[in-house]
Amino acid sequence: MNTDPGTLKITLLGTGMPKPNINAFGTATMIEAGQERVLIDCGRGTVIRMSQMGFATGHTDTLILSHYHSDHYAGIFDLLMTGTMQHPHSNRGGPLHVYGPPGVTDIADGAWIATRPDRNIRVADHEIDPEHMRIIPHEYSEGVVYEKNGLKIIAIEVDHGEFIDIAYGFRVEYNGHVFVHSHDTRYNENLIAQAHDADVFVHEVAGAPADLMAENQKVKLVIDHHATPAEVGRVFARTKPRLAMLTHLVLLPPDEFTIDMVMADLAEEYDGIVLVAEDLMTIEIGKNISVIPYNHGARPG
């Protein structure tokens, strides 16, 4: 553990996609910098992953959503509702602030109605403050979404497909350190333009064999919303991060596109080191960059 207070700490809680998978939950990334704690995206199982890292459900009261595919916010009810309980494992102690593109008000309004039955029971039992079960919506557009105590989170408009209006990646800055996460996007010039000088650049990727794409419209449609391995290689080659990493691997069956195939295609465009993200991996950007897997050195339990 890096004890330098100027360290930017990132925990990849979920690195998966919509397909349920015990090893790769929906996207969720905890950002910690000094006293600041911000969660970006809240996919399926986020609260479970938080508890594995020793984070109470109320570890943060700030959530930023990249876009509205379910694998990026399906876990929000658990975070919202369980976080109200006054136990060491919860204890948010206030409403949940959710920053999102247009649509975030619908989530806040809908959640207030959908959580009412649970809220009524717990209020009757004098268990919670009902206001803690409220989402305070903050609509954002491209630019600075969050800036506090030296932590700056900048939304970068990306391109997640023709009909997906609208999706963002993020540039996180703290104490001279830079972390960039593409979230879901195709090859995108705006992201490349704003991903300069990154210490760590995490990019999504999707692949399918060429013949499968040619004959299967469904596969082609999915791949069209994402970046191919060669495209991601080009993104890394143009932005030159100190460390490049892949996440949100959409490797489509039935003829699965393997990780070896991803790396081979990517290597056509990029000759640097590329890591593959996994759930519960911690990235610390301080004096050096350390990437610590959850089961480091066969962690007990």
Query: What are the residues binding Zn ion (CB under 5 A)?
Result: 69, 71, 184
Nearer of residues 59 and 69 to Zn ion, judged by Cβ? 69
- 3-state SS record for the chain: CCCCCCCEEEEEEECCCCCCCCCCCCCEEEEEECCEEEEECCCCCHHHHHHHCCCCCCCCCEEECCCCCHHHCCCHHHHHHHCCCCCCCCCCCCCEEEEECCCHHHHHHHHHHHCHHHHHHHHHCCCCCHHHHCEEEEECCCEEEEEECCEEEEEEECCCCCCCCCCEEEEEEECCEEEEECCCCCCCHHHHHHCCCCCEEEEEEEECCHHHHHHCHHHHHHHCCCCCHHHHHHHHHHHCCCEEEEEEEEECCCCCCCHHHHHHHHHCCCCCCEEECCCCEEEEECCCEEEECCCCCCCCC
CB of residue 38 to Zn ion, shortest distance in Å: 19
Nearer of residues 170 and 174 to Zn ion, judged by Cβ? 170
CB of residue 275 to Zn ion, shortest distance in Å: 19
Nearer of residues 44 and 171 to Zn ion, judged by Cβ? 44
Nearer of residues 18 and 94 to Zn ion, judged by Cβ? 18
CB of residue 225 to Zn ion, shortest distance in Å: 7
CB of residue 283 to Zn ion, shortest distance in Å: 20
The token pair that represents 249 in the structure block: 């691997």
Nearer of residues 190 and 290 to Zn ion, judged by Cβ? 190
CB of residue 176 to Zn ion, shortest distance in Å: 30
CB of residue 184 to Zn ion, shortest distance in Å: 3
Nearer of residues 61 and 71 to Zn ion, judged by Cβ? 71
